[in-house]
Structure 1
């Protein structure tokens, strides 16, 4: 009886560790975005899986400059966006859609830069054991574009 109890505890610990590891091998989760030009944290983004399609929305903007606040007001609006996103609040906005897994990368979708209003193709790849995410936005070929490294949040 004592031996069986130990086995159940060991199996539970192993299963729990496997679950945590599996969660870090996908972009699904909450991320702090880091601006590739300034190195500053810009936002908290949540990536979700909707039937195999990754989507992302902005949970919170960080480190807004006094100039940004003076220009946009207390609630940042997507002033340069087109269509349904035009003049809508950036917080809560869906900024990434149509992304699907392709081996060890996720691509095929689009990502919006709310600051410029531009939409880019996007490619995601995991770094540092799933603690960082390389987000590559590009037009045309992926080698012509910009990358940001996002940090996983607890």
Structure 2
């Protein structure tokens, strides 16, 4: 099962280097220009790793949250609507000011969302609740859904 996913992920990250990863727009545009299957695998694998390792707060504080809007679309594409809804809820909690996507991406990338960086208690608690819901979603096996997507 992992082989097809690992291969797509390896292909996706092949061209990433420090220069790209340190430039918000270069990184985002790199991911946008990936072949669709690689983009889907890259955004969903990063998202899932971050949530499994530290939750939604970690996803946003580690700058991967800049891909949240794209990842929501990709989760829906692989037929993971409940995980997409959880990420959508988390993104709206973080972006309660409804910044346009480009501004939101830059604020996340540059760690300029004070309530994320300063561990705002209310937001942290709300994101933790979403973490718990994410961990309980056994019926939406992200690896199986990714594999099915890649095989079709």
What TM-score range do you get, normalising by the shorter chain? under 0.3
Greater fraction of residues in strand: 1
Greater relative contact order (CA < 8 Å, ≥ 6 in sequence) = 2
Greater fraction of residues in helix: 2
TM-score by length of 1: 0.23
Structure (1 or 2) with the larger CA radius of gyration = 1
TM-score by length of 2: 0.23
